[in-house]
Amino acid sequence: MDITFDFPVAHSSFTIPLKATAQLHHSEPYYVVDSFVFERRDETFSQLSLLPRIEIKYLKCGNTGSWVHTSSERESLLSQAIGKAIEKSGYFSQG
C-alpha cells in the first residue's frame, strides 16, 4: 500500500512531505517500508528512493503502544510518522 506522511526534520519546525510503499510481513507482524519519494514530486525526478528500506512494528506497552524499528525496538521521528500513516490507511494490523 502507498502511504503519505510528513517527515519531521529534527530540531526544527520543518517537515518534508513523503510517499512510500508499506507492506505487511506476516510471520511476526511488522511493516517493510521502502520506495521513499517526495509526495509532490515532478515525474521527471529519479525513481531512486530517498531513504533506505526500513522495518517497523507496533510495540504494545500496557494500554498504549508505539511504532519502533524492528532491529532496535526503539522509536524515532521517522517510525512514528510512518506508523501514523499506516494507521490512517486502514490496513493497520497488530497481528
Q: Kindly report, residue by residue over 63-92, the tens digit of the pLDDT.
A: 888 999 999 999 999 999 999 999 999 878
Instruction: Select from 63, 62, 67 the least CA-distant residue to 92.
Output: 67
pLDDT mean over 38-58: 79
pTM for the predicted model, two decimal places:
0.81
Per residue in 10-42, pLDDT (tens digit) is: 889 999 999 999 999 877 789 999 999 988 765
Q: How confident is the model at residue 62 (pLDDT cuts 50, 70, 90)?
A: confident
DSSP state of 3: E
Angle at 27 between CA 92 and CA 34, to 5 degrees: 55
Q: Domain coordinates of the chain in residue numbers?
A: 2-89
